[in-house]
């Protein structure tokens, strides 16, 4: 073998590594851009609009202090132990706290992303881990819980990180129990992870978590008795703090039942029954996934159970739902992206963008985060690692490429002609999201009537030059015929929705491969518009 051949082969062998390095650099650049943007968004807010849940601590001079109870204004929704943890910040000026809090929260997000990637079920190569880390951090940064936490001034990222550290980063039984107990002292529903430890045979960690929770809560009670009484007794474990418990911000079973109009003893009894059912079913599923070697999925399922059964689950406390993206659902390769896409869209976009303003779907739209949490906890059939489709799903059928002049050009799967029918749920969801984004962009257009009239004159001049300017004659002719005018009015207001959707529906059922071509064409036209 000549030196030239060795060089060529070496370059070819190095290409995958080089491409991975480029992709990794681009992903980390995206992480950096998102971090800078998040810092800018938070710090550009006026002092009264950032860290709003800590405004109890802000004095007239802009210096933090504790005056009276943490819960007097009703904005701070953390536990008394969380207030005790934040107490050292009272020596900081408000402006300095905004900078420190924002950068500290971003560092916690980065650490959380690295720990979550390390917790992925084996086998995970080093290259995959390096690529997955920036993707995980990006998803965390753009998620609604993290975006809320950055400007509210809450500690909701810390319990998730402590639990992941307890499950994946520390050894033994004592320290995991301590970390879980501290996390539960910050977010009481997290105490369910002690039950997960017990069900998976880690009895000492379970007991240690419960004891640590009691000790931390007792310490906060001794140091802040008035606040502890207000939180645990007067406000029923924080259920009366923050916004109204029946507001859309409370994505728990309790909040959903209140929004459905149930109140009083009936609502409480129904909530307790449903919560017990979700806890039993969810923890059994979590223990099964833990024994199957999918401990990160078990943690996600337990966190989703905690979200559902907590009296209040505010948006900044729902980061557990995003962890459920690691579950694998579906035996076909074409279905594998459905569950991750649903989780990412639900955790990053408001419900109004996901579902239309139609009465039938309003209960789902208003409780979409809770629905996702309940689905992950009780319903979604995640694959077991013993399944033959865990690593090798049923492949997608592609049509054979037609011989052509450029047949030597390799076709990536995105460009191949797919014969099978795409997943209907994912199609409907993506169509809705794309149209919602298009509507928002259209409403944000700043051009006025003068620009529209100028464009109209330009089009009319082109039509005159081509001798096809028939609009004036056609409009006046139609206006003179009432039934024809009414028909075209109805046609203009409805047919440009009904006809394309009807055609897409027929193609989806009868001609799946042609449906993909038509859907993609309409999508590109919408993007260009």
Given a cut of 80, whether residue 119 has pLDDT beyond it is: yes
- Compute the mean pLDDT over every residue in the chain, rounded to the nearest whole number: 83
* Residue 321 contacts residue 307 (beta carbons within 8 Å): yes
What confidence category does residue 61 fall into, taking pLDDT thresholds of 50, 70 and 90? very low
Integer Cα distance of 142 and 139 in angstroms: 5
Answer left, alpha or beta for residue 456, where phi above 0 means left and psi between -120 and 50 means alpha: alpha
**Residue 97: what pLDDT?**
63
Determine the average pLDDT of the residues in 217-246.
Answer: 87
How much is the pLDDT for 11? 42
| pLDDT tens string 68-98 | 677 776 567 888 898 888 776 655 555 566 6
DSSP state of 492: I
| Neighbouring C-beta atoms of residue 75, cutoff 10 Å | 17
Give the integer Cα–Cα distance in Å for 102 and 73: 23
Listed by start position, the domains of the chain span 27-66+75-379
**pLDDT digit string (tens) for 371-429?**
999 999 999 999 999 999 888 888 877 666 655 555 555 555 555 677 778 888 888 88
Least confident of 88-97, 120-129, 147-156, 295-304: 88-97
Find the helix packing angle between 192-199 and 203-223, rounded to 10°: 160
Helices (H) and strands (E) in the chain, counts: 24, 0
Question: Which range is least confidently modeled, 48-52, 53-57, 354-358?
Answer: 53-57
Nearest in space to 238 (alpha carbons), one of 296, 169, 184, 313: 313
The pTM of the whole model exceeds 0.85: no
Q: Is residue 7's pLDDT more than 50?
A: no
pLDDT tens digits, residue range 156-180? 899 999 999 999 988 888 999 999 9
pLDDT band at 49 (very low <50, low <70, confident <90, very high): low
Give the start-end residues of each E strand in 224-264: none
d(CA 194, CA 328): 25
pLDDT reported for residue 404: 57
Report whether pLDDT(311) > 80: yes
């Amino acid at each position: 073998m000549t030196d030239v051949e060795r060089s060529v082969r070496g370059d070819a062998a190095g290409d995958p590594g080089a491409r991975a390095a480029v992709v990794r650099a681009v992903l980390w650049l995206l992480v950096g851009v998102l971090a800078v943007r998040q810092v800018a968004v938070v710090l550009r807010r006026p002092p009264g609009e950032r860290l709003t849940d800590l405004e109890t601590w802000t004095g007239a001079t802009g210096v933090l202090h504790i005056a009276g109870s943490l819960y007097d204004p009703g904005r701070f929704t953390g536990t008394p132990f969380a207030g005790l943890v934040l107490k050292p910040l009272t020596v900081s000026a408000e402006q300095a706290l905004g900078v420190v809090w924002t950068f500290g929260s971003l560092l916690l997000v980065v650490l959380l992303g690295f720990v979550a990637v390390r917790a992925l079920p084996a086998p995970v190569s080093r290259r995959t881990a390096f690529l997955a880390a920036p993707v995980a951090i990006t998803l965390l940064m753009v998620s609604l819980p993290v975006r809320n936490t950055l400007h509210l001034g809450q500690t909701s990222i810390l319990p998730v990180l402590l639990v992941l550290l307890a499950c994946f980063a520390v050894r033994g039984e004592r320290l995991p129990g301590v970390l879980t107990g501290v996390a539960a002292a910050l977010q009481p529903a997290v105490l369910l992870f002690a039950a997960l430890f017990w069900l998976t045979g880690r009895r000492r960690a379970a007991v240690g978590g419960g004891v640590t929770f009691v000790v931390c809560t007792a310490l906060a009670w001794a140091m802040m008795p008035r606040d502890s009484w207000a939180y645990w007794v007067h406000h029923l474990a924080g259920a009366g703090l923050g916004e109204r418990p029946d507001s859309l911000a409370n994505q728990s079973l309790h909040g959903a039942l209140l929004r459905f109009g149930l109140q009083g003893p009936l609502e409480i009894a129904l909530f307790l029954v449903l919560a017990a059912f979700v806890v039993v079913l969810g923890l059994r599923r979590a223990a099964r996934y833990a024994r199957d070697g999918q401990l990160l999925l078990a943690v996600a399922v337990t966190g989703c159970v905690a979200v559902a059964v907590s009296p209040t689950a505010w948006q900044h406390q729902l980061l557990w739902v995003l962890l459920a993206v690691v579950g694998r659902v579906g035996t076909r390769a074409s279905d594998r992206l459905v569950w991750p896409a649903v989780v990412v869209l639900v955790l990053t976009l408001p419900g109004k963008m996901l579902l239309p303003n139609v009465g039938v779907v309003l209960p789902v739209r208003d409780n979409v985060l809770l629905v996702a949490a309940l689905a992950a906890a009780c319903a979604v059939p995640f694959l077991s690692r013993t399944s033959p489709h865990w690593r090798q799903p049923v492949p997608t059928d592609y049509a054979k490429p037609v011989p052509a002049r450029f047949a030597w050009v390799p076709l990536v799967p995105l460009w191949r002609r797919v014969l099978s029918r795409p997943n209907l749920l994912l199609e409907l969801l993506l169509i809705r999201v794309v149209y919602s984004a298009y509507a928002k962009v259209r409403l944000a257009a700043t051009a006025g009537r003068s620009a529209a009239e100028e464009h109209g004159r330009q089009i009319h001049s082109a039509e005159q030059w081509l001798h096809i300017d028939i609009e004036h004659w056609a409009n006046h002719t139609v206006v003179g015929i009432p039934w024809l005018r009414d028909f075209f009015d109805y046609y203009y207001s409805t047919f440009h929705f009904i006809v394309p959707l009807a055609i897409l529906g027929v193609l989806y059922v009868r001609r799946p491969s042609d449906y993909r071509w038509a859907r993609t064409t309409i999508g590109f036209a919408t993007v260009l518009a």
